[in-house]
Every structure is written in structure tokens, then in C-alpha cells.
Structure 1
Amino acid sequence: MSTPSEQSAARPEPVGPVDSSRIPRYAGPATFARLPRLDEVGGRTDVAVVGVPFDTGVSYRPGARFGGNAIREASRLLRPYNPAQDASPFALAQVADAGDIAANPFRIDEAVETVQAAADEILDSGARMMTLGGDHTIALPLLRAVARKHGPVALLHFDAHLDTWDTYFGAAYTHGTPFRRAVEEGTLDTDALSHVGIRGPLYGRKDLTDDEKMGFGIVTSADVMRRGVDEVAQQLRERIGDRPLYVSIDIDVLDPAHAPGTGTPEAGGLTSRELLEILRGLAGCHLVSADLVEVAPAYDHAEMTAVAASHTAYELTTLMTRQIAEARDGTS
């Protein structure tokens, strides 16, 4: 059997972003962080950044179908070294832009099946997924695919809203219902479910009691403000343990002052700094895939939301590539 050093010597170096000292950031195609397309790395990657331009499941303002490309455009400014995590994520493992999963915008049930099939294919290749939505409906098929590979997973859900409601207008698949369906289907480890950033009015007290019965713990945005990001991150790490972890982020977890470009904004949210610091505090967790949804560029003044989203996806990608490198080199 070859040693880790021999395996490392035989492994090709990852193809990184376009060199911005040679080609200006505003030039060329807008892949995520100016990384290569999947076909440019032979169709194999460690982390696939994939878009799902679908927002038929929204209950208020539409437009998140354009979110993935807005995030890609904003990500042109990302650089290859992440000082907050002391890592060069695109040198640690191969990250590539896998393009978009095209889903039927007129039939939610068919779109859910399409997204799940595409996610299955990506995960079966050995890659982890960093998915750019799209609305939060897509979390359900993504969780189905991840659970098919890893078994029931821990879920860390950043959002202003619970997204554990039963139906909207009789529809079971919407952006407000994915995590109730996921619990019902057994894709989640109900001993390790957390919401972060919850706030705002609800339909009734029953929303909270139903959510608790499903196994969710709640860290409100006020909790983050009062307790601080380090304590919150520690609590989340303890709840997650060594389970495979899926992170799902609705950009409306951020206050509208930081992320106005979303469909259902709520006052009193996290700052972008708080969100990024909590994510950095997840180092050591077994992050198997993640999504970032509900960026609606039509409402996004000066691309503030897309910029925050691009940095959020960057931190998540860095966590994944660090874990891949540590596992490969036997340092985890």
C-alpha cells in the first residue's frame, strides 16, 4: 500500500482560479471565484459548486432563480488565500463550477425529482456539493441525496424562518416546508438539528411546539447578539458532534441592512460578520455538503446580498477543502 506522501506525489495539483494579476477580475466568464468549469478538470472534482435556478416554491417575492449567477458575479473579488481560516482552499483540493441544474419552473414535484437525481450523480462521483439557489425548496432533494450517501445527517439551518411548516395553499413542497418533509422522510438525525437566526412573527405558538417535537433546537438572532459567536459556535459543535453535517443557509438570516436582496426579509437579523464567524467556528465538524439560497438580485442594492453570499459560500468551501486535505494527509 502506498504511503500518504506517495499518494500526494501521484495526485495532480488542483487547478485554481484565473490569475487576476494577468486577467482583470471583471473579464471572462463568471464561474464561482473564477474557478475552472467541471469539464475543464476532466469531470472530477472534490467540491462541486452548482447552481439551481429555481424559485417556484416562494411564498412572497420571487427572483431567487437569478441568485446563483449573482453570487458567481460577486465572487469575482474572492482571492485564493483565506486568512480567517489560514488556508488556500483552492490549492488544498479541486474545486470546480459544475454549472446549473435546470429544473422545471412550472412543476415543483418534477423539479424536486430533477434536483435530487442531479445531486445523486454529483455525490456518487465522490464530490461534496456547495449549492447556490434558488429558493429553499431545493434543500429537500439535496438532503435526500446526501442522506442516501451518508445516512441521516445533522442539520445546521441558518434562517430567519423555521421552514418546518406543513403546507402552503395545500402544497407540500415549498420553501417553507423542506425540513418538515426531511424529518418525515428520515433523512435527518433528529438528535442534531439546529436553527440559527430565527426571528420575527409566527402564525402561532404551535409553530414552535411542532418544531420542537421534530427535534430542532433554536438559537435566535437575539441569542447570537447576547451570547456572542464563540459561545454559539461551541454549542453547535457540541450538538453536531462527529456526525456528517449538512449546512443550509437562507441569506435572510442576515439583517436586511446586510442582505436586502431576498424574498422574505425580517428585521433584527445577524450581521454578515456574525454569520461568517459562526461558520469559521465549525472547523473540525464533518461538513459533507451545503447550500446557500434565497438571494434575489432584483432587490439587492449595490450587490450587498450577493457579496455577503459569495463570502459565505467561500467560508463553507474552505471548511470542506480543509477537511478533505486533512483526511487525505492523515492529519485529521
Structure 2
Amino acid sequence: MSNPPNTGTNTDTGTGTGADERQPRGPVDSSRVPRFAGPATFARLPRLDEVGGRADVAVVGVPFDSGVSYRPGARFGGNAIREASRLLRPYNPAQDASPFALAQVADAGDIAANPFDIHEAVESVEAAAGELLDGGARLMTLGGDHTIALPLLRAVARRHGPVALVHFDAHLDTWDTYFGAEYTHGTPFRRAVEEGILDTEALCHVGTRGPLYGRRDLAEDARLGFGIVTAADVLRRGVDEVADQLRQRVGDRPVYVSVDIDVLDPAHAPGTGTPEAGGLTSRELLEILRGLAGCRLVSADLVEVAPAYDHAEITSVAASHTAYELTTLLARRIAAERENGPEQG
């Protein structure tokens, strides 16, 4: 894995100045260093090597988009999210939490994946993710296209067993093949079910919409074990009811959250490879994520940000806040487990 460059900038702890060495090391102090200065790590957090190579939450990029079926460019998504995240602040009022004080969050740089060989890329992502997990971190992964969800789930399942999945996306991503290829951004969750790394009693898509190839797509998706909350369902039921439904479906199982930014309407996320009209607002997505507080979140990913199509950085800003909410959920879960134990946390 490669790391963002080090400019030698000093950083403060997540609780502000004056904290002792036992406190997590937090973002650069924006009252001392302007937000537009210094390296663009996620939320201006320290690099992994600056916290001794160990973190509770590792924010890691996977600049890979060789699995896309339409517009390319998501390989540049992770760094666009990092740039947009310069405006994030240490306290999250929506969740009443200071995530960077609750847990050590660090930017682990990027996982290098072969852009010409999908099979090798999948293996590389799985191996690198496994190393980070073995080091005690939970992952907040910045894609990249949705192909990377499969190797990430493999690594997570080796640590936790089959996991529940909450999948935010305009699309099902449970198709079989494209042009005979098994590993693409439209197939990761079919492969994951086939490999036994998902808990088929607790799988859910959120925000799906748009045309399909046929009714068979929905029938096969249901056969794999997925429930669906469409974008129209979110509109009609409201975010609180949807979040409650998701919490009930995953229960106390370890859960992985995967967010394709195209779950948002193109008005809120134009910078993506396969946009579909009629999607969620950024506010709806953030509120549903906040409603997952208390779930046993073990890792998450955010994929398909393609900055080449992102005028005025609308998509990357939405993505940075989405990653921030997920990071806060992870940090809160870690803090709760330390206080109450893994099962009660």
C-alpha cells in the first residue's frame, strides 16, 4: 500500500489541544493550518504510519475501476473524497459524537491493484484488506468501483464469519456475468453469496430503481436472499421507518455497509459511472445511515465516485460526508464495545 505524502505538519488530538498521549491522534488543527494547506488525508487525519501502524479505523483507498460497464473514472474517487473531506470537523452533532476522539482513525493510503488484470486486483485487495484487519482495524474503504466489495467482504468474513449486508445502490449488483466476466462492478454480491461469506438471512438493498433486464433479475435477487427497499419506498415510508426496518433485518449480527454513491439522485451525485434518475437525496442517505447507530458495524465501503463527471464537486462532498457518518458509526461501535464488550456494545 502507498501512503499520502508527509509534509511534516503537526497534528492535534481529536479532543483539541492539551490531551495526553493516550488520546487518539486527531486531525490537523484548522485554527493553525488552513484547510487548503497540507496533505489531503481523509478529514486531515494522521497517516497510519504516524500512529505506529495501528488504528481502530483505517480509511483506505482502492483506486481501481477496471470492472465498470459504462463510464470509467472511479479510480480517482478516493482522492477526490479526501480533498472534499478537508471541510469535515471533529464533532458530529447529528450523532452527538467526536469520532476521532472515540477511536484512533488514520488514513492508510491506497491499496495498489493491477488495472489490467481483475483477478489479480481482487486478490491484491483481499490480501491488503486482510492485513489491515489483522492489525486490529475496521475498514472505511474509498473506491474505486463496486468490484472491490467482493475481496473486502472475503477479508471481513475471514475475521467475523458470514456477515449481514446493507447495500445502498441504484442497482442490484447481483447479476451473473458481463461479457462472460464473473468479476465486475455488477456482480460482487452474487459471488459473495455463492462463496458463503454473506449471512443470507440479513441482506438488503436500499435505494434501487431504474430499468432492469427483466423480471428474472428480481426473482434471482430474491433467491439469493436479498430484501429490497427501493428509492420510492424511502420516499413513501420515510427515513426513520426505513432505518428501523434495516435494524430489525440485521439484528445483532456483524454487519457490513456498502454504499455506491449512485444511490443518490444525479442531482446530488452527478459524478458517477451509471447514474439513474429518481434516487435518494444526500439528506435521506445520511439520515438512514445515522439510524443504523447501535448495529454491529464491522467495516464499510463507499464506491463509484467518478470526479471527471462531478461539476462543482457535488458528488465528492456528498461522499465525504457519507464516509464521515460511516466512520462515526464505526468509532461509536468501537467505543461501546470497549465499555460493554463485543456482544453488548
TM-score normalised to the size of structure 1? 0.96
Read off the aligned partner of 2:339 and give its amino acid letter. D
- 1:110 alignment counterpart: 120
- Decide which of 184, 191, 211 is 2:194's aligned counterpart: 184
For residues 144-168 of structure 1, give each alpha carbon's deviation from its aligned partner in whole angstroms, at most 9, with x where no partner exists.
0000000000000000000000000
For residues 264-310 of structure 1, give each alpha carbon's deviation from its aligned partner in whole angstroms, at most 9, with x where no partner exists.
00000000000000000001100000000000000001000000000
| Structure 2 stretches lacking a partner, 5+ long | 1-18
Distance (whole Å) between structure 2 residues aligned to residue 240 and residue 49 of structure 1? 24
Q: How does 1:185-224 map to 2 (within 5 A)?
A: 185-224=195-234
- 1:289 alignment counterpart: 299
- 2:246 alignment counterpart: 236
Read off the aligned partner of 2:155 and give its amino acid letter. A
Read off the aligned partner of 1:228 and give its amino acid letter. G
Say which SS state the counterpart of residue 273 (structure 2) adopts: coil
How much does 1:326 deviate? 1.3
Read off the aligned partner of 1:115 and give its amino acid letter. V
Say which SS state the counterpart of residue 165 (structure 2) adopts: strand
How much does 1:254 deviate? 0.1
How much does 1:35 deviate? 0.0
Distance (whole Å) between structure 1 residues aligned to residue 199 and residue 126 of structure 2? 19
List structure 1 runs of 4+ shifted beyond 4 angstroms.
Answer: none
Say which SS state the counterpart of residue 217 (structure 2) adopts: helix
How many residue pairs match? The answer is 324
How much does 1:329 deviate? 2.1
Say which SS state the counterpart of residue 206 (structure 2) adopts: strand
1:159 equivalent in alignment to 2:149: no
1:143 equivalent in alignment to 2:186: no
Say which SS state the counterpart of residue 98 (structure 1) adopts: strand
User: Identity over aligned residues, as a percent?
Assistant: 85
Say which SS state the counterpart of residue 201 (structure 2) adopts: strand
Distance (whole Å) between structure 2 residues aligned to residue 329 and residue 27 of structure 1? 37
Distance (whole Å) between structure 1 residues aligned to residue 157 and residue 333 of structure 2? 19
Once structures 1 and 2 are overlaid, which stretch shifts more, 321-330 or 153-162?
A: 321-330
- 1:131 alignment counterpart: 141
Say which SS state the counterpart of residue 130 (structure 1) adopts: strand
Distance (whole Å) between structure 2 residues aligned to residue 112 and residue 64 of structure 1? 16
Distance (whole Å) between structure 1 residues aligned to residue 284 and residue 326 of structure 2? 14
- Decide which of 249, 255, 267 is 1:257's aligned counterpart: 267
Say which SS state the counterpart of residue 28 (structure 2) adopts: coil
Read off the aligned partner of 2:213 and give its amino acid letter. Y
RMSD over equivalenced CA pairs, Å? 1.1
For residues 296-329 of structure 1, give each alpha carbon's deviation from its aligned partner in whole angstroms, at most 9, with x where no partner exists.
0000010000000000000000001011111112
Distance (whole Å) between structure 2 residues aligned to residue 264 and residue 153 of structure 1? 27
Read off the aligned partner of 2:147 and give its amino acid letter. T
1:37 equivalent in alignment to 2:27: no
Read off the aligned partner of 1:229 and give its amino acid letter. V
1:20 equivalent in alignment to 2:26: no
| Structure 1 stretches lacking a partner, 5+ long | 1-8
Read off the aligned partner of 2:201 and give its amino acid letter. D
Q: How does 1:38-77 map to 2 (within 5 A)?
A: 38-77=48-87
Distance (whole Å) between structure 2 residues aligned to residue 221 and residue 60 of structure 1? 22
- 2:323 alignment counterpart: 313
How much does 1:11 deviate? 8.0
1:85 equivalent in alignment to 2:95: yes
Read off the aligned partner of 2:172 and give its amino acid letter. L
Distance (whole Å) between structure 2 residues aligned to residue 324 and residue 155 of structure 1? 19
How much does 1:10 deviate? 10
Distance (whole Å) between structure 2 residues aligned to residue 22 and residue 329 of structure 1? 34
- Decide which of 312, 317, 320 is 1:302's aligned counterpart: 312
Read off the aligned partner of 2:173 and give its amino acid letter. D
Distance (whole Å) between structure 2 residues aligned to residue 234 and residue 225 of structure 1? 15
Say which SS state the counterpart of residue 315 (structure 1) adopts: helix
- 1:6 alignment counterpart: none
How much does 1:175 deviate? 0.1
Read off the aligned partner of 2:243 and give its amino acid letter. A
